Amino acid sequence: MTEIPLHWQTISELSRRIHNGSLSPVELMEHLLNRVETLDGRLHSFRLLSRERAMAAARASELALRAGQDMGPLHGIPYAVKDLIDVQGLPTTAGSNLLLDNIASTDATVVRRLTQAGMVLLGKANTVQFAFGAPGVNHHHGTPHNPWHATPHVPGGSSNGSGVAVGAGLVPVALGTDTGGSVRIPAALCGTVGLKTTVGQVSRAGVFPLSWTFDSVGPLTRSVEDAALVYQAMRGPDPLDVSTRGTALHEDVLTGVGDGVRGLRLAFAETLFWDEVDREVAQAVRTCGDVLANLGAHVSSIPFPEAAEATEANGNGIISAVEAYREHQERLGEVRLADYDPVVTYRMAMGREATANDYLRTLQTCEALRLRAQRALHDVDAFLAPTTMVAALPLAEVDASLENYKYWNPRYSRNTRVGNVLGLCSLTVPCGFTSQGLPIGLMICTKGFDEATALRVGYTYEQATTWHRQTPDLSWASART
């Protein structure tokens, strides 16, 4: 059997090698840094890369292991963070030229927790400006190049750099944020796993906000087990984020991740999630039901009208638009709205023009829908749907004009944002490819605070298939131009 190249190995595989002494954290970091320097000139996934800082952290990790200070399965594993997440001493630009001098004074809570778990930071990944945008376009810092096609295709947003970095084998895990799909969309389009955590499970302290109602932090990884490892290290209450009050101090999602799906009640959520979905995408996702049924799950269909109602209630994104405008209001006293990326400007304008009555009415409607959704899912352990309506499209087509962008943006986020509005947990896993060789994602949704079941279903599906082991041909990206 041919050994999997170092850059395509999962966290679990790398961790075993680090702990048995056949791989050092320094060797791993140096390998990945060299790969980034070879490929990222074309991929453009990283905003900031500090070789000296990364290598120093890897050396410290290696010395700790030699001294018997083993921090666990994540010890010595490199990771990247979306450039909305604070790292002490580094700029957090949030994808905008307006924040080039915004140097973080402290680490975000998630960075601190991953450091405590032994992980080492490789760099900061690009993002859509201020996290506004599902296709993944950024006109200030450039749009990362989806690794699955030599012609620029959209990477998905807003965690565009995180999706490309993991999808291209530049780093085994990258953190993203998800307000309406911003972890799951790039994960699906770039062929990786992406976990949208329930708001309240993972602290957002030190993360540049888009919407305090919907923002969550989650990992993009090469496998479901990797996502579980990183999620477990990040989660838990934090006095710096009031949304985490009442969250259990400890949660073990790893012990049960391999328990299989026999006896679980799974269902395809019909109606909205399948309307106007690309035929190849729909076919690939429907086939997942057969795989899971053959593994012992009870697979059925449910109408779940709450999905359509959630989309209608917050169809224009009024909640996140208002909350984002409030976050930027002071800054807008110093710069013009026109100084923002055009794909952000129209959303910010919506937040400025919305009335308090519109905002509060939408919040109340969504809260009522959340309660109804919990009741509707009482007899279902998880539901299945396509992560996105379409696979990655050529960037030139999506970004030909602002009107084109406005058309495609909801076609990438419609299915994912249902989970944010209804307070669900969601996991996307690779489940096939289009005839053009572009990845397709299966979305597994569970009730809020039930990450364990989403990970269990995703892991079982993943172990029965090989989609997550497929890798893109990046010969075009390594060519010197």
Mind telling me the catalytic residues?
82, 158, 182
Residues ≥6 apart with Cβ < 8 Å to 36: 46, 49, 122, 123, 170, 171
Rounded-to-integer distance, Cα 389 and Cα 212, Å: 26
Among candidate residues 197, 185, 191, the one with its CA nearest the CA of residue 160: 185
Do the Cβ atoms of 112 and 131 come closer than 8 Å? no
CB 182 within 8 A of CB 197: no
What are phi and psi for residue 88, nearest 5 degrees?
A: -50, 130
356 burial type by CB count under 10 A (0-12 exposed, 13-18 middle, 19+ buried): exposed
Residue closest to 451 by CA, chosen among 191, 222, 213, 229: 229
Close Cβ partners of 271 (under 8 Å, ≥ 6 residues apart): 303, 304, 305, 307, 308
Q: Name the residue type at position 83.
A: D
Q: Are 229 and 117 in contact, with CB atoms under 8 Å apart?
A: no
Q: How far is CA 152 from CA 133, 184, 346, 368, 477, in A?
A: 17, 20, 25, 42, 11
Alpha-carbon Rg for the chain in angstroms: 21
The CB-side HSE value for 293 (13 A sphere, CA atoms) comes to 12
| Residue type for position 101 | D
Token digits for 128? 């859509």
**Euclidean distance between the first and final Cα of the chain, in Å?**
35
Q: Residue 198 carries which DSSP code?
A: P
Q: Between the CA of residue 228 and those of 21, 135, 166, 215, 257, what are the distances in Å? A: 24, 26, 16, 19, 8
CA distance 207 to 194: 18
**Single-letter residue type at 30:** E
Q: What distance in Å separates the CA atoms of residue 72 and residue 220, rounded to the nearest whole number? A: 20
Find the Cα–Cα–Cα–Cα dihedral 121, 125, 131, 132, rounded to 10°: -170
